[in-house]
Amino acid sequence: MKKKSLFILMFLVAVATAAFAQPRAVGGRFGYGFDASYQHSIGSSNMVQVELELPAFAGIGVAATYDWIFPIRSWQEKGEWNWYAGVGAGAGYFWPASGYVGAAGRIGVEYNFWFPLQLSFDWRPIVGPVFTGFGGATAVGFNAGGLYAGAIAFGIRYKF
């Protein structure tokens, strides 16, 4: 009975370790609205992050960044602290008849618990042109809102 219990315990530890070491995470970013977020690790020090933006106003957007991950070794306890930075692109539409497209950047810090949960805080601005076409007139300007709207956010993700 003891051998069987030991075998079951070792099996559960192996399965849990494999489950927690998977390269994906899904969750959300909460800032100036909500972003549905998906992360996929590329090796041990890079990740791609894709987000569907649902801002606090009537609109929708997407953003994707390629991020480099840097461990903060002096902060390690049970979980794992990292900071990350990356570049990418974003685009979106908001009512009435306006849209934006631009380059995205990202810098942030994350904590990966010893169980499959990740918390993060980051800044992801999107800079580029904004296009408006309201009332028959069209205009192009700088997307100043991309520096703050949806840029600073707290994230929570399930790792699998």
List per-block mean pLDDT (blocks of 10 residues) for the chain, which spans 160 residues: 55 47 88 95 95 90 97 84 97 90 97 96 95 83 81 95
Other beta carbons within 10 Å of 81: 16
Which pLDDT score, from 0 to 100, does residue 19 have? 46
DSSP strands (E only) in 10-136: 24-31, 33-42, 46-55, 59-71, 80-94, 98-112, 117-123, 126-127, 129-134
Cα 11 to Cα 5, 17, 23, 95, 137: the distances in Å are 10, 10, 21, 53, 66
Which pLDDT score, from 0 to 100, does residue 87 have? 98
Q: What span, in angstroms and rounded, lies between the C-alpha atoms of 26 and 121? A: 15
- Kindly report the CA angle at 58 between 56 and 60, in degrees rounded to 5? 85
Which pLDDT score, from 0 to 100, does residue 16 have? 46
What CATH number does residue 57 fall under?
2.40.160
Residue 46 counted as domain residue: yes
Which pLDDT score, from 0 to 100, does residue 4 have? 57
Nearest CA to 121 among 64, 68, 82?
82
25 contacts 48 by C-beta, under 8 angstroms: no
Residue 11 counted as domain residue: no
Which pLDDT score, from 0 to 100, does residue 107 have? 97
Which pLDDT score, from 0 to 100, does residue 81 have? 94
Residue 152 counted as domain residue: yes
Which pLDDT score, from 0 to 100, does residue 70 have? 96
Residue 7 counted as domain residue: no
Total tally of structural domains belonging to the chain: 1
Residue 2 counted as domain residue: no
Residue 92 counted as domain residue: yes
Residue 1 counted as domain residue: no
Cα 136 to Cα 92, 95, 111, 132, 150: the distances in Å are 20, 15, 48, 10, 28
Which pLDDT score, from 0 to 100, does residue 17 have? 47
Which pLDDT score, from 0 to 100, does residue 3 have? 58
Residue 16 counted as domain residue: no
Which pLDDT score, from 0 to 100, does residue 12 have? 46
Q: Which domain holds residue 71?
A: 24-159
